[in-house]
Amino acid sequence: MRMVDLILKKRNKEELSKEEINYIINGYTKGEIPDYQVSALLMAIYFNGMTNEERLNLTLAMLKSGEEIDLSKIKGVKCDKHSTGGVGDKTSLVVAPLAAACGVKMAKMSGRGLGHTGGTLDKLESIPGCSISIESDEFFNQVNKIGLAIIGQTANITPADKLLYSLRDVTGTVESIPLISSSIMSKKLASGADNIVLDVKVGDGAFMKNVEQASELANAMVNIGNLANRKTTAVLTDMNEPLGCAVGNSLEVIEAIETLKGNGPADFVELCIYFVTEILLVCGICNTETEAKEKVLEKIANGEGLEKLSLMIEAQHGNKEVINDYSLFDKASEIIEVKYLGKKPCYIQKVEALTIGEAAMMLGAGRETKEQDVDFAVGIVLNKKIGDLVNPNDTLAYVHSNGKNTNVAVEKVYEAYSFSDTLVEKQSKIIKVIR
């Protein structure tokens, strides 16, 4: 088998066999196939696509390039929830505890933030003492005991994906549905869960800018998951404005805690309840959407979801007192109000998620390179969102800063807002479900 023949085959829109894909991934991972040949193949895939069978075989080849997590030591039904990334997306900190309170085992491996999107691990590390790195036996025991753990991915999961992603990033082949879907699903399958629920973000603050692109990606990932015998559901959700009100690590954790206490922002609450409902249906815990939703609401009302988060923080060596004492979080040195400067009342037409995310990153809440540290205390809290009425001098948002790029960030936050003289209706965050 020769790599050049496989490049020509894909260039000519022919289908690669399972054996050929395994040859490519094994050879590249071992350093036997050079970057320039794999680059040529990636470009051929970018232009000519892949069949469902090819996508599955590529995913499985990347999966088998490294360690697979065996969750058989965890008793009960296991589920993983994954988001493609957005601004203010602290969903896992609410969804995972609620799902655990409903009887699902949530053994979750998450990532860090890069660019304008935040990472779950960074949010968890804003909790004093909280560790995202625990030994495998401790991880299994924790999930068996409390039904929940959120940790960082091991270094040995899907090494082929890490190599391919780095190459895609510098060869203009990132935006390829087959390559994105196999990248995400290889990591999800390697994480070992029986059931997978995917949150595919759509809009200004997401990687997928329109519903058509997002639907294609969601369908591709669901097909891969189901062909790999993992029951998989994808939900398309709106990311044309930040999710909830808080953007920034400790600020988002506080908002997640408030949501578990029943005090969360309406759009964020809607999304969290919906995702736990989907998890309960996928896992067979409930038979109907109505039954599942009632169960979720009960776990918020009786505090069992909040208790699960508290137990997880304690198990991962964090200070669980943060649940009731927010002063234990790092605090910004200054909070600046961003005021509406118009002369007459109006409605919020848009809050650009990407711009808000970039402003938070400039303050230090995010990172431009993987090596950068984040400032847990800084960020933005929106006071007005799409559809809200604003009067002259009303506060649109609060910028929490420690002095880094403060003035520029404040200007960007104001620029993120668009206004309308006529009423703007609030829209559901749920766009479409692909089961």
The owner of tokens 């189901």 is 226
Q: Are 429 and 359 spatial neighbours (Cβ–Cβ below 8 Å)?
A: no
126 belongs to the catalytic site = no
Instruction: Give DSSP secondary structure letters for 109-164.
Output: EE---BTTB--HHHHHHTSTT--S---HHHHHHHHHHHSEEEEEPPTTS-HHHHHH
82 belongs to the catalytic site = yes
Count the Cβ atoms, other than its own, within 10 Å of residue 102: 24
375 belongs to the catalytic site = no
182 belongs to the catalytic site = no
- Dmax over Cα atoms in the chain, in whole Å? 72
How far is Cα 261 from Cα 238, in angstroms, rounded to an integer? 24
Out of 82, 295, 299, 385, which one is annotated catalytic?
A: 82
2 belongs to the catalytic site = no
Out of 123, 187, 295, 412, which one is annotated catalytic?
A: 187
Out of 110, 183, 191, 215, which one is annotated catalytic?
A: 183
**Closest C-alpha to 242, from 255, 227, 261:** 255
Host H or E run for residue 28? helix 18-29
Out of 80, 161, 267, 375, which one is annotated catalytic?
A: 161
**Residue 306 CA to its chain's centroid (Å):** 21
Instruction: Give DSSP secondary structure letters for 370-417.
Output: TT----TT-EEEES--TT-EE-TT-EEEEEEESSSSHHHHHHHHHHHE
Q: Are 214 and 400 spatial neighbours (Cβ–Cβ below 8 Å)?
A: no
Residues with active-site annotation: 82, 161, 168, 183, 187
